[in-house]
Amino acid sequence: MPPWTAADIPPQRGRVFLVTGGSSGLGAEVTLALCAAGAEVILTCRDEERGRAVAAAAQGPVQVRHLDLADLASVRTFAEGLTEPVDVLINNAGVMAVPHSVTADGFERHIGTNHLGPFALTGLLLDRVRDRVVTVTSGLHRLGRVRPDDLHFTRRRYQRWLAYAQSKLANLLFAYELERRFDNAGPPPPDPESRTPGPISLAAHPGVAATEGQRRDTSFQGRLLAGGRAQPPAMGALPLLYAATAADAAGGTCIGPDGLFQRNGHPETVATSVRSHDTKTARRLWEESERATGVRYPTGG
Ligand SMILES: NC(=O)c1ccc[n+]([C@@H]2O[C@H](COP(=O)([O-])OP(=O)(O)OC[C@H]3O[C@@H](n4cnc5c(N)ncnc54)[C@H](OP(=O)(O)O)[C@@H]3O)[C@@H](O)[C@H]2O)c1
């Protein structure tokens, strides 16, 4: 089979996608490609000016809305304001290897922005998501250790790449656990407007893509971990687009690039670390995430 490209995105007319962090990098590429396929996109960002610039370049309708994932009050305000159903939620926004700081709620910034904010957002929107939840992780999840009793690095020495890696492993634990909970909940009552029997949850990662976030870290360690030459953002966006639109993208999987060490290439289902499949840690992370955010999911464990 020839490699999957953006030209293979099935027609998306009538479908609504919510893309977090759509104002730059991969989120912007995903927005443009989805609109070119006929989709309607709700793009969230902190800097609405940048979001509007992406909307202006898109070939279809894009609503730009404010959302700060590092602030649970903003997540709640956004979720309350979103009344329409969403076919696909793409949890893409994230920060990468930033110096130590905390979110509005006192969470370490990576786990707060990359996991706890999206965890709260997904839980608050769950009854409005019809088709799937795609959570964006990173190959660097392999360096991470999720410590549900020390998510905020109060007992470990803070290292920004390890904090980033913990949050990206948390993304996978969350995506897989959400899929298990969807499975346990059984099929929802039939929705005449939905094309699928019920939502699925899966993960995707872009390999190494030359975005602002990726370029920001010019340290030796950053360049080493990023793994040399980065592919263009449009290529990095392909696994996210495949995960979000392909009929054969399965729940409980991760889509990544097919090249050496999953650093570049075209989308395929990829293996993730043994730790990412640890159901005990996934359940403990889930409980701690519900406690920290105050958002309780309707799906049982
Ligand atoms: N590029 C890569 O090589 C690579 C590799 C592996 C994984 N990833 C993952 O891909 C995703 C996108 O990254 P990118 O490379 O496209 O980076 P990027 O260009 O820096 O984009 C990140 C996006 O996240 C948004 N964001 C950051 N903090 C936020 C917050 N507190 N609330 C809401 N939105 C926030 C940013 O919007 P603002 O304008 O509001 O800052 C921006 O739109 C991330 O989850 C990242 O971990 C990227």
Per-residue pLDDT reduced to its tens digit, 166-223: 999 999 999 999 999 999 886 666 555 555 568 999 999 999 999 987 766 656 566 6
AA letter at 168: K
What domains appear along the chain, each with residue ranges and CATH number?
11-293 (3.40.50.720)
Q: Are strands 200-204 and 86-91 parallel, antiparallel or unpaired?
A: unpaired
Measured torsion, CA atoms of residues 194, 195, 197, 198, in degrees rounded to the nearest 10: -60
Q: Where are the beta strands (DSSP E) in 113-239?
A: 129-136, 200-204
Structure tokens at 58: 């898109």
How remote is the C-alpha of 202 from its chain's centroid? 9
Ligand 1 atom nearest 137 alpha carbon: 7
Shortest-distance Cα residue to atom 18 of ligand 1: 213
The whole-angstrom separation of Cα 265 and Cα 202 is 19
Side-chain half-sphere exposure of 88, counting CA atoms within 13 A: 30
CA distance 99 to 73: 23
Banded model confidence at residue 300, pLDDT cuts 50, 70, 90: low
- Contact, 68 vs 74, CB < 8 A? yes
The protein residue whose alpha carbon is closest to atom 41 in ligand 1 is: 46
Confidence category of residue 61, pLDDT binned at 50, 70, 90: very high
pLDDT number for residue 132: 98
Q: Of the listed 158, 164, 176, 297, which one is catalytic? A: 164
Amino acid at 191: D
- Residue 112 Cα to ligand 1 midpoint, Å, equals 13
Give the other-Cβ count within 10 Å of 117's Cβ: 28
How far away, in angstroms, is 36 Cα from ligand 1 center?
22
The region that residue 191 occupies, defined by phi over 0 for left and psi between -120 and 50 for alpha, beta otherwise, is beta
Name the pLDDT band for 274 (thresholds 50, 70, 90): very high
Mean pLDDT of 130-149: 97
Average of pLDDT values for 74-100? 97
Protein residues with CB under 6 Å of any ligand 1 atom = 21, 23-27, 45-47, 50, 67-70, 92-96, 113, 136, 138, 205-206, 208-209, 211-214, 236
Taking residues 134-163, what's their average pLDDT? Answer: 97
Q: What is the mean pLDDT of residues 251-259?
A: 97
Does pLDDT of 22 surpass 70? yes
Distance CA 109, CA 68 (A): 12
Residue 164 a catalytic site member: yes
| Separation between Cα atoms, residue 37 and residue 17, nearest integer Å | 12
Ligand 1 atom showing the smallest separation from residue 51 Cα? 39
User: What's the token pair of residue 274?
Assistant: 């043994």
Strands 254-257 and 200-204: parallel
The CA distance from 152 to 103, in Å, is 11
Q: Taking residues 100-117, what's their average pLDDT?
A: 98
